[in-house]
């Protein structure tokens, strides 16, 4: 099977899995978006998926992503930054991407706001729902304060929340997803523009159906779409 045929097959399988999960959860078809996690994969793979109808792509590594964004600038792709944010990379992230998923500090939010020019940058706050020492993310108890800081920054638009729970038991994953959904619903009530607070990013290759059942509006899929990566990069 050549690469285009392989990607076409995987894309069809993932789209079917999302539609099945939506149906099983009594969700409206199309209510869950697919974010194709394309880190370490070539621009040719992204272009192939774009030709199949995929528009949202997630990248973790700044320089690799910028090279792809430049080479694919003629395509109407929505670029999402989903990696760890270093302070010295905020300017390039703010100018190159449409969305940033991994905000967990006021300092980073402020730097992105200062560097952003043009339409506001769409922001998700990463929440460490399990309070795991090995995970990034704001603690649930500090979430509202960070959200209030972002609401006051004119070049950022807070769209929702994101989490990466520890890959433990299904019951623990379910609890983590439920916690994030509760935090999302609480913050939506307090949001000064609740109509734009519409994105709950949770669920990856191994817990897609569970995440959709618990209210996810965006699933991040890499391995099942592009094929296996080295173990440390599995999504």
Q: What is the pLDDT of residues 35-66, one digit of tens each?
A: 999 999 999 999 999 999 999 999 999 999 99
**Mean pLDDT for all residues in the chain:** 93
How many independent structural domains does the chain possess?
1
Residue 137 maps to which CATH number?
3.20.20.10
Q: Is residue 58 part of a domain?
A: yes
Task: Determine the structural domain holding residue 169 and report its residue range.
Answer: 3-226
Q: What is the mean pLDDT of residues 81-93?
A: 95
13 confidence band (pLDDT: 50, 70, 90): very high
Q: Is residue 233 part of a domain?
A: no
Q: Is residue 231 part of a domain?
A: no
3-state helix, strand, coil in the chain (%, to 5): 50, 15, 35
Q: What is the mean pLDDT of residues 179-197?
A: 94
- Counting Cβ atoms within 10 Å, is residue 221 exposed (0-12), middle (13-18) or buried (19+)? buried
Q: What is the mean pLDDT of residues 181-208?
A: 94
Residue 231 is predicted with a pLDDT of 59
Q: What is the mean pLDDT of residues 198-209?
A: 93
Which 8-state DSSP code applies to residue 141? G
DSSP string covering 149-199: HHHT-TTEEEEEEE----S--HHHHHHHHHHHHHHHHHHHHH-SSGGG--E
Q: Is residue 198 part of a domain?
A: yes
Q: Is residue 235 part of a domain?
A: no
Q: Is residue 232 part of a domain?
A: no
Q: Is residue 220 part of a domain?
A: yes
Distances (CA, A) of 223 to 22, 102, 142, 205, 229: 21, 20, 32, 7, 7
Residue 234 is predicted with a pLDDT of 44
The three-state secondary structure class of 210 is helix
> CA angle at residue 103 from 72 to 152, to 5 degrees?
105
| Number of other residues whose CB lies within 10 A of the CB of residue 157 | 18
Q: How is residue 20 written in tokens?
A: 């099945």
Is the pLDDT assigned to residue 182 strictly greater than 80? yes
Q: Is residue 161 part of a domain?
A: yes
In this prediction the pTM is 0.94
């Amino acid at each position: 099977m050549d690469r285009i045929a392989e990607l076409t097959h995987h894309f069809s399988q993932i789209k079917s899995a999302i539609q099945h999960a939506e149906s099983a959860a009594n969700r409206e078809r199309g209510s869950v978006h697919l974010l194709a996690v394309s880190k370490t994969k070539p621009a040719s793979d992204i272009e192939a998926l774009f030709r199949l109808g995929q528009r949202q792509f997630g990248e973790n590594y700044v320089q690799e992503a910028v090279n792809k964004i430049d080479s694919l600038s003629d395509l109407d792709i929505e670029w999402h930054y989903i990696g760890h944010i270093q302070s010295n990379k905020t300017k390039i992230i703010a100018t190159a991407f449409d969305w940033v998923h991994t905000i967990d500090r006021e300092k980073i939010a402020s730097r992105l706001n200062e560097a952003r020019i043009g339409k506001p940058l769409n922001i998700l706050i990463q929440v460490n729902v399990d309070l795991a020492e090995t995970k990034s993310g704001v603690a649930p108890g500090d979430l509202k304060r960070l959200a209030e800081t972002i609401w006051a920054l004119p070049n950022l638009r807070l769209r929702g929340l994101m989490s990466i729970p520890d890959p433990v038991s299904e019951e623990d994953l379910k609890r983590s997803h439920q916690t994030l959904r509760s935090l999302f619903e609480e913050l939506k009530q307090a949001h000064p523009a609740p109509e734009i607070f519409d994105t709950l990013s949770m669920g990856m290759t191994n817990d897609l159906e569970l995440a959709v059942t618990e209210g996810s509006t965006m699933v991040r899929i890499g391995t099942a779409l592009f094929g296996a990566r080295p173990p440390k990069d599995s999504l």
